[in-house]
Structure 1
Amino acid sequence: MKKSTQINGLPIISIADGNQIGKVKSLVINPEKGTVDFLTIEHEDFQVSVKAIPFKKVVGIGEYAVTVDSENAVIDLNEIPIANQLVNKKIKIINTKVMTRKGELVGEVIEFFVDQDSGIILGMQLKVTDKEVALASDSVVTFGKDIIIVKEDASLNFLDSVEDLDRKENVEDELTDVLSTETGYKEEKEIKALKEKQIELLNGKRVMKDILDKDGKIIFHEGTVLTSELIEKAQAEGPSLVVELSMNVEVV
């Protein structure tokens, strides 16, 4: 997680030749996605057009520099209409008022925080009356040029420390991993149960015709009495073969 002010002004270094391409001039915000999509470049040779680096081309954002593979990562924003539109929207976030959808003033942004790997805006630091709080981006409805609109219950989701933004992201990632693992485990159990049921139904039955594998070779000859080992062999060939086998057996 990086502060926007930790990124602004950093030298941009090409890994290929070790040259400094320029410095980060500004972060170009995509208000619909809630991401930093481009880093504009400050360089004495870039006076006529606006040069930038797509965030996805950034290799790393360190304490001392932003690194890219080569100068080929640099683009001319005037040649990319969508990128140019984002620049012209002038979404700056810092020093922007924060208001709920019902028009209640919440506070003012004094800093925002970016995931240095994805460019996702994780949240903001707000000045609220006489204190400073953090607010995660999942409470944001709209990143506007003049006003940032948040959900009505945003104040209930204030965090005491900006470090909690990073912890919140890590917890959500871990939860996603756990849910994915549980889903995979459930699917694995269901498949195992299905295969056991197939073995139970087919075991001991006689094959009524030659059954071919996907290469056209006979895998079960007519008259074969199925065992659990043979049924597992059929299952390894795929569901379609098991279906065909099921339709061409008889009780011994």
Structure 2
Amino acid sequence: MKKSVEITNLPIISILNGSQLGKVKDLVIDPENGSVDFLTVEQEDWQVSVKAIPFKKVIGIGEFAVMVENESSVIDLNEIPIANQLVNKKIKIVDTRIISRKGQLVGKATEYFVNDESGDIVGISLHSNERDVILHADHVMTYGKDIIIVDEQAANFFVDSPEQLFEEKPLIIEKQEEPTSVNAGSDTELRALKQKQIELLTGKKVTENIFSQAGDLIIEAGSILEASQIEAAQDAGPTVFVKLSMNIEE
């Protein structure tokens, strides 16, 4: 796992011939999947077009360099429309305000953590109520150009260190199972919200393949949504469900 700042400005090295292909200029975020999909490349010889490396072409990210197989891993963004679209969306995380689904200001993002194997965004550092804390990316519902939207429970699950990001899911389960009136109410609201989502989406047509965070196909494009498919998307996490809701038609 790497902070974004630990990736930016790293030299990009070709394993084939040991040459430097440039350095990392920026991380290109896919807001629908909550991942870094491309690394843009800064190179003095390239004056016109913008070059980038698909994250899946990255062999490894170390303290000294980003390693790729060879220079063919570097592409021209004009040749790949989806990459160009992501760059033009200009999604950033650092210095972006974070608000809850119910409109409460949660804090301001100061950094984010990336799985250096998959490119998935794992967590976000933020300044909240005079504290510097970290939030697991599972709580993010929307990565917007100006605002990051999280679920209303996000502030209850701040952690103090990146290592705790991997301990959060069990903690969430424990908190939901505690026999307190507050949690019982939250569980009831959550079930009601999920049921409302099922009612709204059932019978609608899916226009794009929907994949889990692990890359497994959950719902095939062209499917007429059934309750079980919607539940599968809900269980896969907020970013997967948001992608489903953005890719349906009557």
The bucket for the TM-score relative to the shorter chain is 0.5 to 0.7
- In structure 2, the partner of 1:9 is 9
- In structure 2, the partner of 1:70 is 70
Q: Any idea what the Cα deviations from partners look like across 1:130-184, whole Å, max 9, x if unmatched? A: 1111100100000011000000010111112222124558x89xxxxxxxxxxxx
Amino acid at match of 2:23: K
Equivalences, count: 171
Determine the C-alpha separation between the residues in 2 that align with 1:166 and 1:19: 36
Determine the C-alpha separation between the residues in 2 that align with 1:11 and 1:123: 24
Q: Any idea what the Cα deviations from partners look like across 1:66-114, whole Å, max 9, x if unmatched? A: 0000001010011111110000000110000000111100000000000
Determine the C-alpha separation between the residues in 1 that align with 2:9 and 2:111: 15
Residue 156 of structure 1 pairs with residue 134 of structure 2: no
Structure 2 residue matching 1:156: 3-state secondary structure: helix
Query: Contact 2:157 / 2:168 at 8 angstroms: preserved in 1?
Result: no
Point out which structure has higher relative CO (alpha carbons under 8 A, 6+ apart). 2
Question: Any gaps of 5 or more consecutive residues in structure 2?
Answer: 172-250
Determine the C-alpha separation between the residues in 2 that align with 1:166 and 1:93: 21
Determine the C-alpha separation between the residues in 1 that align with 2:112 and 2:38: 16
Structure 2 residue matching 1:152: 3-state secondary structure: coil
1:155-194 to 2 correspondences below 5 Å: 155-168=155-168
Determine the C-alpha separation between the residues in 2 that align with 1:37 and 1:53: 9
Query: Contact 2:40 / 2:53 at 8 angstroms: preserved in 1?
Result: yes
- In structure 1, the partner of 2:128 is 128
- In structure 2, the partner of 1:42 is 42
Query: Contact 1:122 / 1:166 at 8 angstroms: preserved in 2?
Result: no
Question: Any gaps of 5 or more consecutive residues in structure 1?
Answer: 173-252
Q: Any idea what the Cα deviations from partners look like across 1:171-203, whole Å, max 9, x if unmatched? A: 89xxxxxxxxxxxxxxxxxxxxxxxxxxxxxxx
Determine the C-alpha separation between the residues in 1 that align with 2:102 and 2:32: 20
Amino acid at match of 2:111: E
Amino acid at match of 1:128: S
Question: What TM-score, normalized by structure 2, do the two folds share?
Answer: 0.66
Determine the C-alpha separation between the residues in 2 that align with 1:7 and 1:23: 10
1:167 to 1:43, Cα distance in 2 relative to 1, 3 A? farther
1:10-29 to 2 correspondences below 5 Å: 10-29=10-29
Amino acid at match of 1:41: V
Determine the C-alpha separation between the residues in 1 that align with 2:73 and 2:148: 31
Determine the C-alpha separation between the residues in 2 that align with 1:150 and 1:167: 19
Determine the C-alpha separation between the residues in 2 that align with 1:103 and 1:56: 36
- In structure 2, the partner of 1:93 is 93
Q: Any idea what the Cα deviations from partners look like across 1:185-235, whole Å, max 9, x if unmatched? A: xxxxxxxxxxxxxxxxxxxxxxxxxxxxxxxxxxxxxxxxxxxxxxxxxxx
Q: Any idea what the Cα deviations from partners look like across 1:112-139, whole Å, max 9, x if unmatched? A: 0000000000010010021111100100
Structure 2 residue matching 1:41: 3-state secondary structure: strand
Alpha-carbon RMSD across the aligned residues, in angstroms, is 1.4
Amino acid at match of 2:89: K
1:166 to 1:49, Cα distance in 2 relative to 1, 3 A? farther
Amino acid at match of 2:163: E
Structure 2 residue matching 1:138: 3-state secondary structure: helix
